[in-house]
C-alpha cells in the first residue's frame, strides 16, 4: 500500500482481518514480522513520533476542559500553555467547538467529543493521521453529520489520512482511494479510485466492494 501526501485512503474489510493491527503498525505501536513502514522514503518501522492516531473512543482527559485537551499535542512539544491555547483557538470555529473551550468532556455530546478528539489529533501536525472507526459509536444521524463535516474539513486543511471503517458509504464519501481487505490473514483484494467518481459509478463501486467482501479470500491483487 502507498499513500500520497494529502491523500485520504480508507480501508474496508471483515471484522478481525487486521485493519486496526495495520494502523498500530503504521503508528509504531507494533512491529511487523515482515515488511516495513516508510515515511517520505525513510524507514520508520516500529518508531513513533510522526503519526497521529484517533481511535473510536475519544480518549479525552475528563479532568481537563476542552481547550486544554486539544492543546495537549502542542504542550508536549514544549509550546507554552498560553501560546498553545492561542493556536488551538484558531481552529475552534472550523471544528465546531467555538464557545465550548471551557466545557469538560462529560458536558459534551458524543459528536462534540469526537470533534475535540479530531482537533487534538490534527494539532499533532504529523505526517499522517490515522483514524480507527472514529464515528462508529455515534447514532446514525450524528454519524452522517460528522462524515459530511469531516469531508468539508479535509477539503479545507488537506491532511493525509488513513481511515479504517466498516461503513462502505463512509469510505466512498470521504476517501480518494479505498482498499478492500480479505478475511484474516488480510490481503488486498480490491483497490478503488473514488475521488472523481459520479453517483452512478459509486453505486457500482459499492456493489464491487460488497461482492469482494462476500467472496472467499482467494484472489490477491
Residue pLDDT, tens place only, 171-198: 999 999 999 998 888 889 999 998 777 7
Predicted local confidence at residue 138, as pLDDT: 83
The set of cell numbers assigned to 78 is 514544549
Distance of CA 176 to the CA centre of its chain: 13
Pairwise CA distance, residues 78 & 161, whole Å: 25
Tell me the pTM. Answer: 0.88
- Whole-number Å distance between alpha carbons of 202 and 198: 6
User: pLDDT tens digits for 18-49?
Assistant: 899 999 999 999 999 989 999 888 898 988 88
Interatomic CA distance for residues 202 and 206, integer angstroms: 6
DSSP string, the chain: ----TT-EEEEE--TTSSHHHHHHHHTTSS--SS---EETTEE-TT--SSEEEE-SS----TTS-HHHHHHHHHHHTT--HHHHHHHHHHHHTTTT-TT-TT--GGGS-HHHHHHHHHHHHHTT--SEEEEESTTTTS-HHHHHHHHHHHHHHHHHH---EEEE-S-HHHHHHH-SEEEEE-SSSP-EEEEEE-TT--HHHHHHHHHHHHHHHHS-S----
Q: What average pLDDT score do residues 150-168 get? A: 92
Quote the pLDDT of residue 64: 96
**All structural domains of the chain with their residue ranges:** 8-214
- Tens of pLDDT along 78-134? 999 999 999 999 999 999 999 999 999 999 998 899 999 999 999 987 789 999 998
Q: What is the pLDDT of residue 194?
A: 85
Give me the pLDDT at residue 216, please. 64
CATH 3.40.1550.10 fits 8-214, yes or no: no
2 Cβ partners below 8 Å, 6+ apart? Answer: none
Alpha-carbon distance of 16 to 185, in angstroms, equals: 9
Which whole number is the average pLDDT over 158-163? 94
Mean pLDDT of all residues belonging to the chain? 89
Contacts of 218 (CB under 8 A, 6+ apart): none
In this structure, the chain runs to a length of: 221
Q: How far apart are CA 13 and CA 2, in angstroms?
A: 17
Amino acid at each position: 500500500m502507498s499513500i500520497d501526501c494529502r491523500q485520504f485512503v480508507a480501508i474496508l474489510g471483515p471484522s478481525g482481518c487486521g485493519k486496526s493491527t495495520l494502523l498500530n503498525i503504521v503508528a509504531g505501536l507494533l512491529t511487523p514480522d515482515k515488511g516495513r513502514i516508510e515515511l517520505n522514503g525513510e524507514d520508520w518501522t516500529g518508531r513513533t513520533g510522526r503519526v497521529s492516531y484517533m481511535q473510536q473512543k475519544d480518549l479525552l482527559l475528563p479532568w481537563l476542559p476542552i481547550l486544554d485537551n486539544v492543546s495537549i499535542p502542542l504542550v508536549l512539544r514544549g509550546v507554552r500553555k498560553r501560546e498553545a491555547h492561542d493556536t488551538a483557538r484558531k481552529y475552534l470555529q472550523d471544528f465546531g467547538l467555538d464557545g465550548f473551550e471551557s466545557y469538560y468532556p462529560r458536558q459534551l455530546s458524543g459528536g462534540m467529543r469526537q470533534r475535540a478528539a479530531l482537533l487534538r489529533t490534527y494539532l499533532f501536525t504529523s505526517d499522517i493521521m490515522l483514524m480507527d472507526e472514529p464515528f462508529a459509536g455515534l447514532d446514525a444521524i450524528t454519524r452522517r453529520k460528522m462524515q459530511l463535516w469531516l469531508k468539508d474539513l479535509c477539503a479545507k486543511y488537506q491532511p493525509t489520512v488513513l481511515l479504517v471503517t466498516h461503513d462502505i458509504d463512509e469510505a466512498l464519501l470521504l476517501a480518494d482511494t479505498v482498499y478492500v481487505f480479505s478475511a484474516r490473514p488480510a490481503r488486498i483484494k480490491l483497490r478503488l479510485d473514488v475521488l472523481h467518481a459520479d453517483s452512478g459509478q459509486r453505486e457500482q463501486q459499492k456493489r464491487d466492494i460488497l461482492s469482494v467482501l462476500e467472496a472467499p479470500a482467494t484472489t490477491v491483487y
